[in-house]
Amino acid sequence: MSSYRTDQAIRGGLQPVAPSFKLPPSIDCSILLIYLILILIGLIMVFSASIGIADQQTGDPFYYAKRQFLRIVLSLALVWITYRIPLEFWNKNGMLLMLGSIILLAGVLIPGVGHTVNGSTRWLNFGVFTFQISEVAKLFLIIYLSGYLIRRSQEIQTNTMGFVKPMLIMAFASGLMILEPDFGAAAILLLTGLGLMFLGGVRFGQFAVFLTGTLCIMGLLAVSSPYRLSRITSFIDPWADPFNSGFQLTQSLIAIGSGGWFGTGLGGSIQKLFYLPEAHTDFLFAIYAEEFGLAGTVFLIVLYALLGLRCFAIGKMALLNQQAFGAYLAYGVGLLITLQAVFNIGVNLGALPTKGMTLPFVSYGGNSILSMSLAIGLVLRVFREYQFKRDIPIVKDRRLSFRHANRRISA
Mean pLDDT rounded to a whole number for the chain: 86
Burial 282-316 (b: 16+ CB within 10 A, else e): bbbbbbbbbbbbeebbeebeebbeebbebbbbbbb
pTM for the model: 0.88
pLDDT score, position 18: 52
Residues 6+ apart with CB under 8 A from 335: 191, 192, 195, 196, 308
Quote the pLDDT of residue 355.
78
Per residue in 157-186, pLDDT tens?
A: 888 888 889 989 999 999 999 888 888 899
pLDDT per residue over 102-139, tens digit each? 999 999 998 888 888 777 788 888 877 788 889 999 99
346 or 388, which is more confident? 346
Rounded to 5, what percent of the chain is helix, strand, coil? 70, 5, 25
Beta strands in 226-347 (DSSP E): none
In percent, the amount of the chain with pLDDT more than 90 equals 55
Residue-level pLDDT at 127: 74
What is the pLDDT, as a whole number, of residue 398?
45
- How far CA 197 is from CA of 203, 403, 404, in Å, comes to 9, 10, 13
pLDDT score for 180? 86
What pLDDT, on a 0 to 100 scale, did the predictor assign at position 407?
A: 52
Most distant CA atoms of the chain, gap in Å: 84
Amino acid at 325: F
Classify residue 359 as exposed, middle or buried by CB count within 10 Å of its CB (0-12, 13-18, 19+): buried
**Quick one: DSSP state of residue 113?**
T
Q: Which residue has the higher pLDDT, 353 or 346?
A: 346
The whole-angstrom separation of Cα 143 and Cα 171 is 16
pLDDT at 49 exceeding the cut of 80: yes
- Is pLDDT above 60 for 8? no
C-alpha span between 122 and 132 (Å, rounded): 6
User: Residue 19 — pLDDT band, cuts 50, 70, 90?
Assistant: low
Q: Model confidence at 311, in pLDDT bands (50, 70, 90)?
A: very high
Range of weakest confidence among 260-264, 282-286, 398-402: 398-402
Q: How far apart are CA 400 and CA 325, in angstroms?
A: 18
